[in-house]
Structure 1
Amino acid sequence: MNDANAERGAEPSAQEGDTARPESGDRDAAAVIEALNAENGQLKDRVLRTLAEMENLRRRTEREVSDAKAYGVSSFARDMLTVVDNLSRALEHLPAEARASADPAVRSMIEGVELTARDLEAVLGRHGVKRLDPKGQKFDPNLHQAIFEAPDETVPAGTVSQVVQSGWTIGDRVLRPAMVGVSKGGPKTAPREAPASSGK
């Protein structure tokens, strides 16, 4: 009988222990879930950052490859501008009378120089190198280099009135600024004096 009472007395404590264990187990499981959710959030954030960095790297690489294609010939093209300038100067300094009176062999040579100059400019154009011809345009310090200023009443002040040396661009960059003369504009009119009063 004592044993039965002891067993009965032990039962409630066993049941109390059973109900206590699941509560602490629930707390442990909730803590584990919370820790897993936090870790999941950190990993998700890390993956998103890595994906963003990879996308930025891809864009930067594409831009660098595009720039290399467009501007890779810049140094070579800049050197070739001297050849273009020399051919242009040679043709500009040939008087029209000398050309007209030249014998056929000299005339053929002149035509060959003109053809070479046109072909060279066309080849540069195929590689994105274009001539700037700013005469009559407003002076732009990003594209032009002013080497003198001259009065000219026919155009507004700040207009390119003369191109001393052609400028060139490659893509959307300036390869060599145009060396230009800029107009000061017409002379300003002197302020008119007030008419003298007739009361004196």
Structure 2
Amino acid sequence: MISVIGGIRASFPILVKLATLLPLPIFKEVNASGNRVFGYATESINRYKRLLAENPENPKPTVFTKLYNAGEEGLPDNEIRDDAQSFIVAGSDTTANTLTYLVWAVCRDPQIKKKLVDELAEIRDDFTDEDLRSLPYLNQVINEALRLYPAVPSALPRSVPPKGTTMGGHWIPGGSTVSTQLYSLHRDPVAYPDPEK
């Protein structure tokens, strides 16, 4: 849910602001979830600051260490907090969604499930990351799950340069916002002859 809201917020920021004015429960839930993530991010920053204060000479390394070590050239606290919010969502919401669809897709097709289980049965008990990377079918299944069911279906919007440009034979005026629509891109029969399989 948070990743979908993030996509809407990035592409249409005014919609999120307008939605908070509507008396619908879903918008209150969205706002509450955003506030929870904001709270988690703020607490993460504060916890790191406490760790840093307790041991300034040898702080425990975290994702914030380099940001704080940059001093004056680093990011202000509010930008670090925004990054922390992204880390929280990227490390939970998207991973859970991806794994849910991957398991569902594998379980609904007995042939895929059998082939995957057979490949995994061949791996040693003390396998390494490199062993996992060398499993072709596992990696194909993961890539297909990401293609068909992306956890973050929205694209990163980009601004067209002021002079405008032509893309795919179409003129796009300067200052326009463009992005790639992932659902259609990942189901293009030119790139994927049987895109739903």
- TM bracket, shorter-chain basis: under 0.3
TM-score normalised by structure 2 residue count: 0.21
TM-score normalised by structure 1 residue count: 0.21
Instruction: Determine which structure has the larger strand proportion and give its number.
Output: 1
| Greater relative contact order (CA < 8 Å, ≥ 6 in sequence) | 2
